[in-house]
Amino acid sequence: MQIADFGDVRLHFRIDGDPDGAPVVFSNSLGTDMRLWDPILPLLPKGLKLIRYDKRGHGLSSTPSGPYSMGNLVRDVERLMDMLEIKNSLFVGLSIGGMTAQGLAVKRLDLVRAMVISNTGAKIGTPAIWDERIAAVRKNGIEALADGVMERWFSKAFRATPELELWRNMLVRTPAEGYWGCSAAISGTDLYTPTSGLRLPTLGIAGSEDGSTPPDLMRETTALIPGSQFHLIRKAGHLPCVEQPEEYARVLTQFIHDTGHL
Ligand SMILES: O=C(O)CC1=CCC(=O)O1
């Protein structure tokens, strides 16, 4: 457990694996913390330096006053990577983390040599949808929308398992201001033009039952980057690294090898 103090925000981060290994940075989704990656980390090959962090307003990081912008989220991980002297990473971002990946690659290609954009989009939803969600969370808290979120995060089969409660707990224990602050960042983000200009090895991953960022959005976003690969994980919703960790880790491992990262 480590903390990086950048003045306006303190980020909780953690490094696993080989301290001298090839860096892989993970950025998680709205309403989750770095434990999102727990199911896949033990399945990845040795020789990787695995860097995780809780974005602002999530997990054990601090919660600055909202709203936040995508610029804030990109700047946070940029500062973390500069502090840790990590360059040429393979950056894995899921949902808002996938937007952060795109934004970071646009701004600092020296930090990202290849990226996995998972269950995300160049643009997610519409400002009207996000404004409604922000207002609802500010008025009633996260609990009031948690069941709806679970339906988008997970397939019906997974929702019938006892593990659902753990992920629901993670969501509802997210600070409300962190949640709506990051929702505002998503609302204000449209990366279609900047992402179209990116030229780096990219893998897009979608979940067949993703109710937040459906496969077609993922296909469209991945196709913005020439030469990119796309993989659809079946029997999974918005968090396929949780529902289908073996397949997620296998596809990620293949990409790590394909890109010569290991
Ligand atoms: O809550 C959702 O709908 C899922 C989600 C959208 C953006 C993100 O990071 O998570």
By most ligand atoms within 8 Å of CB, the mutation choice from 168, 187, 212, 242 for ligand 1 is 212
Q: How far is CA 250 from CA 26, 48, 143, 207, 238, in A?
A: 16, 15, 34, 15, 18
The pLDDT, as a whole number, for residue 159 is: 98
Residue 58: give its domain's CATH number.
3.40.50.1820
Q: What is the pLDDT along the chain (262 residues), one digit of tens a residue?
A: 899 999 999 999 999 999 999 999 999 999 999 999 999 999 999 999 999 999 999 999 999 999 999 999 999 999 999 999 999 999 999 999 999 999 999 999 999 999 999 999 999 999 999 999 999 999 999 999 999 999 999 999 999 999 999 999 999 999 999 999 999 999 999 999 999 999 999 999 999 999 999 999 999 999 999 999 999 999 999 999 999 999 999 999 999 999 999 9
What's the 124 CA to ligand 1 centre distance in angstroms? 8
| Number of structural domains the chain divides into | 1
**What pLDDT sits at residue 1?**
84
- Taken as a whole, the chain contains a residue count of 262
Domain encompassing residue 207: 2-259
Are the CB atoms for 183 and 45 separated by under 8 Å? no
pLDDT at 221: 98
* Closest ligand 1 atom to Cα of 238: 4
Coil, strand, or helix at residue 105? helix
Position 199, amino acid = R
Q: What is the rounded CA–CA span in Å between residue 9 and residue 155?
A: 35
Can you spell out the DSSP letters for 65-92? SSP--HHHHHHHHHHHHHHTT--SEEEE
What is the Cα gyration radius of the chain? 17
pTM for this one?
A: 0.98
For 62-83, give one letter per residue: b (16+ CB within 10 A) or e.
Answer: bbbebebbbebbbbbbbbbbee
Cis-peptide, bond into residue 175, ω within 30° of zero? no
Amino acid 32: pLDDT: 98
Query: What is the ipTM for the molecules in this complex?
Result: 0.94
Ligand 1 center to 57 CA (angstroms)? 15
Question: Quick one: pLDDT at residue 149?
Answer: 98
